[in-house]
């Protein structure tokens, strides 16, 4: 009796050790993967993955618009980015506290956020999309008032819903894909989410369509801790180079299947 208990205890203990070891191996894979080119000191970059098509993929094989753009910028400035998956809610706090050097996570530049971090020049001009079920008679944002609407927690879509839809029940999902699932299941009537995410859902998942795109004057930026001007300048310089040499356009077309808006070229210059 006693010895069988001991054996069981030992087995559990060994299992725990094995799990730890496996986890250890996994994380070291992360560190070596996702690089390419560069040299110099690696640049740790936080991102809330998955948020397709901006960031997606498994640890060590992260990809997406943000990821490839960051890698292209890294190549220009001689710093290999190492991506760290993190939660969007805490991402600005964490970069401010130095948990990583920079953040690229489809993050809109807002005054509120600028109190906590510094942003690069805009690298992407965003729109919000009203995603509905295929064949739905909802055609615009206004028509959603009074209906049940899903958003992703802590995103611009949630802000927009709060501002525009005073009579709606707004359900903030921690993860975007779960919000899209709720739409497909019919428990919500629309999802307000970043346009590229919505576009991706239309293509990949089917059964849903974009009712309206809402321009938000949103610009995405790369965030660094306040006072990291040297790093910020380098990132801006790298961004300008990838915009100028056509790399940006190539990456944009790959992920969004569209020409990048012309405004992005001037937007990135203006800030200088």
Give contact residues for other proteins (rule: CB under 8 A). 88-90, 92-93, 97, 116, 148, 150, 153-154, 158, 169, 171-175, 178-179, 181-182, 185-187
CB 2, min distance to other proteins, A: 20
CB 50, min distance to other proteins, A: 15
Considering only CA atoms, give the Rg of the chain: 21
CA distance 69 to 170: 33
Is the Cβ of residue 67 or residue 150 nearer to other proteins in the bound state? 150
| Token code pair at residue 156 | 């611009």
Is the Cβ of residue 98 or residue 261 nearer to other proteins in the bound state? 98
DSSP string, 94-148: HHHTTSSSEE-SS-B--HHHHTTEEE-S--EEEEEEEEEETT-S--SSGGGTTSE
CB 177, min distance to other proteins, A: 10
CB 132, min distance to other proteins, A: 16
Is the Cβ of residue 40 or residue 174 nearer to other proteins in the bound state? 174
CB 29, min distance to other proteins, A: 24
Is the Cβ of residue 169 or residue 270 nearer to other proteins in the bound state? 169
Is the Cβ of residue 39 or residue 227 nearer to other proteins in the bound state? 227
């Amino acid at each position: 009796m006693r010895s069988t208990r001991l054996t069981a205890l030992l087995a559990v203990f060994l299992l725990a050790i094995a799990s730890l070891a496996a986890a250890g191996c996994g994380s070291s894979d992360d560190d070596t993967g996702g690089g390419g080119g560069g040299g110099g000191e690696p640049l740790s970059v936080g991102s809330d993955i998955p948020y397709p098509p901006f960031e997606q993929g498994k640890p060590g094989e992260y990809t997406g618009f943000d990821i490839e753009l960051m890698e292209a910028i890294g190549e220009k400035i001689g710093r290999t980015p190492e991506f760290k998956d993190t939660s969007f809610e805490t991402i600005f706090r964490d970069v401010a506290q130095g948990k990583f050097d920079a953040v690229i996570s489809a993050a809109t530049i807002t005054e509120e956020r600028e109190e906590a971090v510094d942003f690069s020049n805009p690298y992407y001009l965003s729109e919000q999309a009203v995603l509905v079920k295929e064949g739905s008679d909802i055609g615009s944002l206004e028509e959603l008032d009074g209906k049940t609407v899903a958003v992703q927690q802590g995103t611009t879509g949630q802000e927009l819903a709060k501002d525009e839809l005073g009579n709606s029940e707004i359900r903030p999902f921690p993860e975007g894909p779960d919000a899209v699932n709720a739409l497909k299941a019919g428990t919500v009537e629309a999802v307000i989410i970043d346009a590229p995410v919505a576009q991706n859902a239309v293509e990949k998942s089917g059964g849903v369509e974009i009712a309206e795109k809402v321009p938000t004057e949103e610009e995405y930026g790369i965030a660094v801790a306040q006072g990291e001007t040297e790093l910020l300048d380098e990132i801006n310089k790298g961004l300008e180079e990838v915009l100028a040499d056509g790399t940006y356009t190539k990456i944009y077309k790959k992920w969004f299947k569209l020409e990048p808006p012309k405004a992005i070229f001037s937007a990135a210059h203006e800030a200088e």
